[in-house]
Amino acid sequence: NHDLNCLSIDDLEKLAYTRMDKMTRDYYNEGADSGSTLLENIKAYEKYRIRPRVLRDVSVIDTSINVFGHKNAVPIGVAPTAMQRLAHSDGELATARACKNKDIAMGLSSFATTSLEDVAKECEGAIPNVLQLYLFEERAHSKKLIARAKKAGFKAVFLTVDTPYLGRRNAEIKNQFKLPGHLKISNFAEDDAEQNDGDNPRTDNLPISANQGTKLKTKNPSVAGRTEGTERVLPTGPITFHTHAANPTLSWEKDIEWLKQECCPEMEVWVKGIATAEDAILALHHQVRGIVVSNHGGRQLNGALATLDALPEVVDAIQGKIPVHVDGGIRHGTDVFKALALGADFVWVGRPALWGLAYKGQEGVELMLRLLSEEFRLCMALAGVTRVQEIAKEYLVKVDKSGF
């Protein structure tokens, strides 16, 4: 029962390409600046080769792993990515159904085009969801969102920490990226309704900033003035990714402690976007429950280290005290194996899920998960490993630049 048109994530990417309009495709696929970090996230996996062991009876393979206290079919989750209804009309609901069917954890973006309640309802009784959080400068919005996530049964929040400002994404700027009028940033639709009287209609379609610090031509002066000079003005008006996601004031002392108070004990607090040993140690010090080594899929600081290259120093610093997850550039089952061999406990995939959605909605996400899961299982078997916990450093060797 193969889809003969789609036997790999590379096939899926090509198939998805033709099914998205240019604005969506560029928004999903691009990285910041030249896109070199996006590319290196992928290429980093080629620097390692697997050292397979043989004659080990690999007739029974267990790919499952526990995450957030539940059994996940494979050590792979679907990373939170914003605005999934751009790819398919079912958007986040299709992703949630696919994850539920496949026993896969799902991260929901704060900037989803489906409300967290609707997604949670879709997943009832399945793997609990993670809510990705951008902590806004106006805490009231975040406080409300956190309370709703708790009520809906989310088990963890991932605070994204690599976005004090938005990375410079030139294709978005060229295309004047905007959310089409029929879609909403659903988690905040209510807040917007409160703020918008009849004279101030929704303006989700605000053109994005060409660059923070550049004067914006928007109707909303507080957005334009937000990062100019030294006087900072809080963003007001409708909550959009481009106006509210970035928060340059976030800090360990001020915000992590506050967030823990708001979330615990019902929800675990994790940080997503750690890329150095120094910050990993601070994460331990501030007693977060886990970290995700991530550079936002190369969409924030271009020139940053590939996540696979950052992983070993973070793993060394954490010394098994809390889980270390990684995302960025995972396109093959062997990539999952390599990340785990370098010490990750779990991986998340972003764009492949969006490509699956664009290709065939829920069925496409299921196909993506099946491809990666099958490849991972086969990789384990051919490397001589029957349980995920056995995957370790001795199964890898790093090759030098020439490939030898």
Binding site for ligand FNR (CB under 6 A): 27-28, 41, 79-82, 109, 111, 132, 160, 272, 294, 296-297, 299, 327-330, 349-351
Q: Please tell me whether 387 is known to bind a ligand.
A: no
CB neighbours of residue 237 within 10 Å: 20
Q: Which C-beta is closer to ligand FNR: that of 95 or that of 294?
A: 294
Closest-by-Cβ residue to ligand FNR is: 350
Residue 175 Cβ vs ligand FNR, minimum distance, rounded to whole Å: 13
Sign of the torsion formed by the C-alpha atoms of 162, 266, 68 and 185 = negative
Return the amino acid letter for 347: V
Going by C-alpha positions, the residue among 300, 282, 303 that lies closest to residue 291 is 282
Q: Exposed, middle or buried, 176 (CB in 10 Å: 0-12/13-18/19+)? A: exposed
CB neighbours of residue 88 within 10 Å: 23
Q: Please tell me whether 24 is known to bind a ligand.
A: no
- Answer yes or no: 242 catalytic: no
Q: Please tell me whether 402 is known to bind a ligand.
A: no
Q: Would you tell me the crossing angle of helices 22-29 and 351-383 to the nearest 10 degrees?
A: 50
All residues at 6 or more sequence positions from 193 whose CB lies less than 8 Å from its CB, including other chains: none
Q: Please tell me whether 167 is known to bind a ligand.
A: no
Using an 8 Å Cβ cutoff, are 163 and 137 in contact? Answer: no
- In three-state secondary structure terms, 326 is strand
Residue 404 Cβ vs ligand FNR, minimum distance, rounded to whole Å: 27
Residue 7 Cβ vs ligand FNR, minimum distance, rounded to whole Å: 19
Q: Which C-beta is closer to ligand FNR: that of 83 or that of 396?
A: 83
Pairwise CA distance, residues 380 & 375, whole Å = 9
Residue 80 Cβ vs ligand FNR, minimum distance, rounded to whole Å: 5
Residue 200 Cβ vs ligand FNR, minimum distance, rounded to whole Å: 25
Pairwise CA distance, residues 41 & 306, whole Å = 4
Q: Which C-beta is closer to ligand FNR: that of 23 or that of 127?
A: 23
Tokens of 16: 């998805």
Q: Which C-beta is closer to ligand FNR: that of 109 or that of 227?
A: 109
Q: Which C-beta is closer to ligand FNR: that of 136 or that of 385?
A: 136
Q: Please tell me whether 2 is known to bind a ligand.
A: no
Alpha-carbon Rg for the chain, nearest whole angstrom, is 21
Q: Please tell me whether 329 is known to bind a ligand.
A: yes
Q: Would you tell me the crossing angle of helices 307-318 and 36-43 to the nearest 10 degrees?
A: 70
Of the residues 88, 296, 325, 332, only one is catalytic, namely 296
Pairwise CA distance, residues 322 & 291, whole Å = 8
Q: Please tell me whether 328 is known to bind a ligand.
A: yes
List residues forming the annotated binding site: 27, 80-82, 109, 132, 134, 160, 169, 272, 294, 296, 299, 327-331, 350-351
Q: Catalytic site residues?
A: 296
List residues forming the annotated binding site for FMN: 80-82, 109, 132, 160, 272, 294, 327-331, 350-351
List residues forming the annotated binding site for glyoxylate: 27, 134, 169, 296, 299
